[in-house]
Amino acid sequence: MGGQHKVPQPIVFPDTNPDDFPLVLVASDARGVLFMLTKEGFFHMYDGLTGKRLMANKVSAEHFFIGGPFEANGGIFGINKTGSVLSLSVNSANMVPYVLNVLRDQPLALSLAQRGDYPGLAPMFQQQFQQFIQQGQYQQAAKLAASSPQGCLRTPATIQLFKSLPATQTSAPLRDYYSVLLDHGKLNEHETMELVQPVILQERKDLIIDWLAKDKLFCTPELGRMVLRLDVESAVTIFKRSGNKEELAKLYAELCQFDQLLAFVKEENFNPNWMALFVSVLNRSPANAAAFARTLIKSPGGPLLDTNAVVDALMERNMVKDTTSLLLDVLENTEEHAALQTKLFEINLKAVPHIANALFENNLFSFYDKQHIAHLCEQVGFYQRALQHYTDIADVRRLLISYGSTMQIEFVVTVFGKFTPEARLELMRELLKNNTNSVPTVAQVGVKFTGPPSANPDPSLFNPHQIIALFEEFQSYEGIFAYLQPIVALFATDKELIFKYIEAASKLGAVKEVETAVRDYEYDPERVREFLKEIRLDNQLPLIRVCDKHGFVSDLAHYLYRNNMTQYLQIYVQQLNPLKTPEVVAALLDENASDESIKELINSVGHLCPVGELVDEVEKRDRLPLLTQWLEARFNDGNKEPATHNALAKILISSGDDRAEPFITNNEYYDPAVVGKYAESHNVSLAFKIYSTRKCSNELVAFTNNNGMFREQARYLVLEQIPELWALVLDNANTHRRSVVDQIIQTVLPEIPKERADLVSATVQAFMHAKLPLELMELLEKIVLNTEGKVWDSQHLQTLLILTAIKADKTKVMDYVVRLDGYDPPSIADMALKYDLPEVAFKIYDKFNVKVKAAEVLVNQIGDLERAKEFAETCNEPAVYSVLASAQLNHNNVSEAIASFLKASDASKYEAVISAAKSSNAFDKLVDYLKMCRQNLQKLSGLKAKEKIESELVYAYAKTNQLSELESFISSNKNTQLQTVGDSCFNEGLFEAARVIFNAIGNWSRLVSCLVKLKNFSAAIEAARKSNHTTSWKEVCRACIENDPPEFRLAQLCGLNLINTAQELDELVHYYEIRGYVKELMALLEAGLTTDTSIALSTTLAILYSKYNLEKLAPHLQLFKKKKLNISKIVNVCVENKQWAEISYLHELDGDFDRAVRVIIEHPEVWKDSKFREVLVKVKSTDRIYDAIKFYLDFAPEHVVELLGVVSNRLDPVKVVQIGQKLDAIYIIQPFLELVQEKNIRELNNVLNELYIQDEDFIRLRESIARFDNFDSIGLAKSLESSQFLEARRVAAHLYRMNKRWKQSVDLSKKDKMYKDSMETIAESKDQGLAEELLRFFIEPEFGVKSPHCFSACLYTCYDLIRPDVVLELAWRHQITDFIFPYLIQTMRDFTTKVNTLHSVAQAQPLPTPGAVPVPGFVMGPNGPVQVGSNGQPGGFLPPPGVLPPGFVMGPNGPVQVGSNGPHGGPPGVGLMPPGQPFGF
């Protein structure tokens, strides 16, 4: 509507129909009017500025009930009661005529035409416009033209008119006109072009950007090309808005904005000429061409360029590096790319072989033409690579024979893998035939392709015997050894192969390897032994190893003794195997070696020699005394080895030495079994003494049995009492058992004194263990009925006799029980019961007046309850009644059992009685029994019995429904078991009884359960309040919810007591949720919110809001913040619900700003710039900041510079540059890079310099180079020297000059005819050759310059560098003498000044006398002192160092007189011109 306006008068609404009223009012800014629909179906239209009614019509017979704005036509719609939809708007063509002709309101028509852009008033506006111009009201004319309907005044003629109008000091008509147009809206095409042209000339890029942002310009391709020179980004925007796809695509390509190009063509479904675009990029920016091609070839929808064509185009410009990079990126290891793979290797082998070698190393491709590549590899000297690729064995043979010795053996081995075993073998044969140094290589090949031992060998691998045979063809033991050494361990069981290895190693003198082989591997021992004997190695250790390992020790000893190599025998027994000393000694004894040598050998081994075996070997040869001295020495040294003492004992026994008996008696180290066996054949008494003394029981039994010494054996048995020995002797298999038993009974037992009764008992036990009942009874009768008057343990023996009879003959047991009185009644009774003799047991208990035991036998073993009942009545003892009652109880005679217990007044079995009464439901009888138990509580130990009885009595009252007795009993008897009884009643459904019990004991929790069962919820809540336990509240709460209908109010009262406990809260929430009571649940939790709300409660409510009521979540989070929320738990739920804005805010609350930022980056739909930057400054990880930069570059590039400014202090500019380059958005972040360029970072400077070059902004490029020197100046110079722009090439020359590459700088300046730059460069270089070369360049015809003026200027600029003779020669030759006169004048002046100075100095110094020492640095010449030059020769007439006459200063070429022109010498007006002013012009 053209801004805000106040309307003083109200909108007029007619009152003709009092029932009608406005229903909807819609303002149309575009049309400048107001639309109104009324209830009665009327349509009204008003002027939007004055409120004047324009028209009113009834448009619907039915009432409208709803309406609103209709965007499709900028009008209004209404829906009446019949459902009809009416749309009403303005007919633009008729609006102005209607107002003029019908309403007759010209001012309103003008106003509406301006505000609503209605046609029909062009002549009127033209007339008004001319009036304003004529009256000088240019501002009003401009406003009228800007708002003219349909743009009738906005024509080129109007612009030309404003251009022609005179400007004043305060205003410019054309500028004011454009200002009004821009304020009014968007310019048309002609206005845009006319406005932008001067702006571009003024380089006001900011204005273009601002107008584009405000959409003020009419965008065309022509405008875009015009703006491109000033601002690339603005040009892109213009091309986009112009809709010219081809031009925009070309622009993207030229600007190297490849991602934007691809996005554009995809969005527009546009397919440009990709090859033409690529060639354009290649010509304009070769460095980016490969990247562009790569992007197109790897397009997700398929390649957009032919790779072969791209490669050809790149190689035409010899861009090997780019071509290689491109092919590596786009090639796949498939057969389809075989030709390109070949081309890749061919290009690099010819241009950069080391790159090709790296490609081979990486093994990226395998489908290229290997034969062709192999040939190329051979050409460049890559012989190993050639071998890898050649498949023809002839080529391989040729290379191996020629160059194999220069290659690594490991590589050569791999080459053989390409061929069959037969071809490999033949190739190996050729190598051995043609190259004697190839043995190691052939051996390694053999090792590589030898298969492991297998039942099913691999046919592609060698059999080791093939390789051995190959080496044997050339009699190469070296080859056999080199081949077998690495693999011999694998074939450790191949005897033939091991022999070949031993043979080769022996031939080569590798004794160590021979020794290892014979020690660790399998072979034919006899063959190897004979071979080693035959070859007679310098070291006999291998032979010793063979003989030791395979039991040829005797043969070894004979061989070494006969060949005078007994020293190896000593080595063998001392160092290798002392245990074989006996065999060696035996062989030496057989060879009749001297005793002294044998003793020496034995003594050298010492204690390591096995004594037993040595004694056996010597004893076999009847030479045992030979060892006497050696054995005695070991004995004297305290040796405790049994073999030593055995040998000594044998020597003493066999020699009949008197020391034999003391030795065997006192010595505890000999082996009695060995020595005793030896003594059996020499001295029987000594043998028995040895066995008995050393307790060799088994040997003693065998020895006495063999020699009939049964009495000695019986006496030894009884005295020693060895159970194992008894078992052996009394075993049924012992044929001498009866003889020994007779000796025990008849001889040995009578010898036993009374005080050794234990021996008798032990003997009896032995007979018992031997299960000899008859012999045992015989023995016992002998003992019990002894006639010698010895009194043994009669009770024990009587008991044992009866027990034996029980086991052996049960018919005698009752007789023994009746006749004997000294036995042990309990033991006999128990044994009788064990052997099923209950009557015997009853008889014993009755006989000895053990009534209770007798009763137990009757009820338990005999099982006669009636007899037991009679026995109890006869005895009339409570204990007997107790036994009877227990038996009756066991037989489930509960009533009779309780009666018996009452007679016995026995409460001890109360638990069993209670259990049985419960099982048989005899609670009435149980009440009487329990009352008796309470009377006898003093007989029961502990409080537990009392509690149990009273508890069961309570339970019995409950079961018999005696509630009054129950209450009375409970009131007077409180015990801890009431809880258990109450629980039982509750579990059995006796809720009233349980209620009484729980109420009495104050167990409110259980009382709650009872009341819940009785559905008394109010009372249950009161009980729960008393209980104040979560379980009770939970139970009542659930019962209220599950009730039909649910009691939510009561449930909420309970829930409020649960929600402050995390675990209970979770259960409560789950309980409500699964039943769908979410609304009631949230009401409950909201009711529980307080200032002290727990984290669990506030967190749970937040989760519920996230699930069911999202609009409440944000206020809730803001209310409780982090301290009252479990952030991670809420985040997990929000993630499930995809509520990303809330997730980011939660991470922010949690202080995890990194995650908050990451969430926004991953879900940009919730991004807000100011909020994002506020959070980003708080992140800890710089990586997240870089992620944010990438995000902004992709999603909101217009804000990225502001973002970088906020976090600039935490950024590494280099990384920012890398990100910008990777995303091809470096130009977007250019303002930031310029801001931080003061850090003088190399990468940063390089990028900015490149940007300035691309923008052709060489002024800023020079400033950057001057201020910041950390960049690749040479690289930049090289890139600029071929630029099409003169200023770029001047910068290149300046860079070469900075790096003291004078000639390159001068040549570049000369090429661009920047002669002043070249002169200044040479003057700075101080290079005389370059200066004179430049002189010739200016004047020599061959260079085509021929500029005497430049020649003269160079003389001035490079005055100190140019030799006068050269100047005179060139001037004379080219007839330009006039141009050198200023130079000559200055030169003559300088020369004259120097001569005068020297003359003055010479006059001031006295002449030296002949022979005098001259001034240091001078020698005496014929005309006076002469200064010595740097080479030691006279260097001209100069004063001594440091000596200058007044009025002189030291110049670059010597003393210079100070003139009016400064230190150039000469009178006023003669000196050199100031720098930069050439002579004569």
Exposed, middle or buried: residue 533 (CB in 10 Å: 0-12, 13-18, 19+)?
middle
Taking Cα atoms as reference points, which of 1044, 1040, 1074 lies closest to residue 1055? 1040
Which DSSP helix (H) or strand (E) runs through 764? helix 757-769
pLDDT of res. 6: 57
Lowest mean pLDDT among 570-579, 815-824, 1389-1398: 815-824
- On the question of pLDDT at 732 being above 80, the answer is yes
pLDDT one-digit tens code per residue, 798-825: 777 777 777 777 777 787 778 777 778 8
Instruction: Note whether 446 and 484 are within 8 A (CB).
Output: no
pLDDT bin (cut points 50, 70, 90) of residue 931 is confident
- On the question of pLDDT at 122 being above 70, the answer is yes
Taking Cα atoms as reference points, which of 992, 995, 1064 lies closest to residue 1035? 1064
Beta bridge partners of 77: 68, 87
pLDDT of res. 542: 92
Q: Is the dihedral of CA 307, 312, 315, 317 positive or negative?
A: negative
Which DSSP helix (H) or strand (E) runs through 1307? helix 1302-1311
* Angstrom distance (rounded) from CA 470 to CA 938: 109
pLDDT of res. 76: 92
Taking Cα atoms as reference points, which of 773, 783, 849 lies closest to residue 812? 773
Taking Cα atoms as reference points, which of 941, 945, 913, 937 lies closest to residue 927? 913
* Angstrom distance (rounded) from CA 1388 to CA 1376: 18
Contacts of 1269 (CB under 8 A, 6+ apart): 1240
Helices (H) and strands (E) in the chain, counts: 87, 11
Query: Does 1468 or 152 have the greater pLDDT score?
Result: 152
* Max avg pLDDT among 85-94, 162-171, 1431-1440: 85-94
Which letter does DSSP use for residue 462 in this model?
Answer: B
pLDDT bin (cut points 50, 70, 90) of residue 786 is low
Q: What are phi and psi of 618, to 5 degrees?
A: -70, -40
pLDDT, averaged across the chain: 80
pLDDT one-digit tens code per residue, 1414-1461: 444 444 554 455 444 433 443 333 344 444 444 444 555 555 444 433
| Average pLDDT of the segment spanning 601-605 | 84
Taking Cα atoms as reference points, which of 1289, 1286, 1287 lies closest to residue 1260? 1287
- Amino acid type, 1298: M
* Angstrom distance (rounded) from CA 807 to CA 345: 106
pLDDT bin (cut points 50, 70, 90) of residue 942 is low
- Per-residue tokens: 873: 């009545």
Q: Is the dihedral of CA 96, 102, 106, 107 positive or negative?
A: negative
Instruction: Note whether 1451 and 1463 are within 8 A (CB).
Output: yes
pLDDT bin (cut points 50, 70, 90) of residue 409 is confident
Question: For the stretch 1163-1181, what's the b/e string if a residue is b when 16 or more beta carbons lie within 10 angstroms of its beta carbon?
Answer: eeebbeeebbbebbeebee
pLDDT one-digit tens code per residue, 977-1003: 788 888 888 888 888 888 887 887 878
* Angstrom distance (rounded) from CA 1266 to CA 58: 80
pLDDT of res. 736: 86
pLDDT bin (cut points 50, 70, 90) of residue 171 is confident
- On the question of pLDDT at 227 being above 70, the answer is yes
- On the question of pLDDT at 205 being above 50, the answer is yes
pLDDT of res. 1392: 92
Report residue 320 CA to chain centroid gap.
Answer: 39
Lowest mean pLDDT among 116-125, 445-454, 831-840: 116-125
pLDDT of res. 1091: 61
* Angstrom distance (rounded) from CA 918 to CA 129: 121
pLDDT of res. 91: 84
Lowest mean pLDDT among 257-261, 899-903, 1042-1046: 257-261
| Average pLDDT of the segment spanning 155-172 | 80
